Amino acid sequence: MFSDWKRKRAARRVTAGDGHELRRYRWWQPFSRALFHLRLVEGDGVQHLWSVDVKLWGDSDGEVVAGLYRDGRHVAQSKLPAVFQAPGGTIEVVTSGYGLKRCHFVSAEGREQQLAPDPGSAEGRRARLQRDRPGLSRFIGIASVSILVVALVLGVPQIAEQLTSIPPISDRFGTFSSPIHLPSWLNISLVVASLVASTERALRLRYNWVLDGGLFDGDD
C-alpha cells in the first residue's frame, strides 16, 4: 500500500497512452514480461477489461515502465512504481529485483484486489499450479522461504566479517569474526538458490523486505 505522498508522486509520472493495441503474450517472454488483467464495471454499467503490461528488463533505453490498457488499447504509461487511475479506484504497480511485488487494484474505500495474471505468463502458470496442485504449490512455497532463511542465516555473518575488514569501518566499529565459514562453491550455490527462490516468490507477488533483498532495492 502506498503512503499518500508516494501515491501523489507516482501519479505525477503517469503519461497518456497512444492507443496502440496490446500485444499477445508470447511463450518466450516468461521472465522478461509481466501481464495482468482485471475486469471493472464502469459508470455506464458495462464491464471493461483493464490490463497492466510490464517489460521487466526495461524498454529500449533500459527504463522499466508499466503500460495500462483498456479493452486492449493503450491508455496510459508510467515509470515504476506506478499508480494509475481506474474506475472506482487506482491500480498500483511495483517491482522488486526479481519481478513484480505488487499489482493491485485499490478501491476508493481502500479494499485491495490483486489483478489476475495472464494465463500464458510465468505468473499465470504458477497460479495454475497453485489451483491444480495445491499441495505441490504449498511445498514449493515453503521450500522457497526455507532456502532464503538458510541463506540469510549463513550469509549475513560472512558478509559482516568482510565489511568490517575494510579499514575505515574497522577503525570506527572494530572487526567482526564470523563463526561460519563456507567454501566458495557452497556460497555460490546459496546465492543461485536464493535467486531462484526469490524469483519463484515474485511469480506469486510474494515479497518480504528482509528475505527478498528489500534492504538493497531502494525506493522511489
Which tops the pLDDT comparison, 212 or 29?
29
Do 102 and 94 meet the contact criterion of CB atoms below 8 Å apart? yes
What amino acid is encoded at 43 in this protein? G
- Span 2-49, pLDDT tens digits: 667 777 788 788 999 999 999 999 999 998 999 999 999 988 889 999
Do 83 and 11 meet the contact criterion of CB atoms below 8 Å apart? yes
Paired with 47 in beta bridges are 41
The pTM of this model reads 0.85
Do 13 and 82 meet the contact criterion of CB atoms below 8 Å apart? yes
Q: Please state the rounded mean pLDDT for residues 55-68.
A: 86
Return contacts of 31-36, CB within 8 angstroms, 24+ apart. 31/56, 31/99, 31/122, 31/199, 32/56, 32/57, 33/121, 34/99, 34/100, 34/103, 34/117, 34/121, 34/122, 34/123, 35/117, 35/118, 35/121, 36/100, 36/103, 36/115, 36/116, 36/117, 36/118, 36/123
Question: Residues with Cβ < 8 Å from 15, sequence gap 6 or more?
Answer: 76, 77, 78
Q: Please state the rounded mean pLDDT for residues 185-194.
A: 93
What share of the chain has pLDDT > 70, as a percent? 95
Q: Please state the rounded mean pLDDT for residues 124-146.
A: 97
Distance separating alpha carbons of residues 94 and 66, to the nearest angstrom: 9
Question: Residues with Cβ < 8 Å from 218, sequence gap 6 or more?
Answer: none
- Span 148-171, pLDDT tens digits: 999 999 988 888 888 888 888 887
pLDDT score at 216? 43
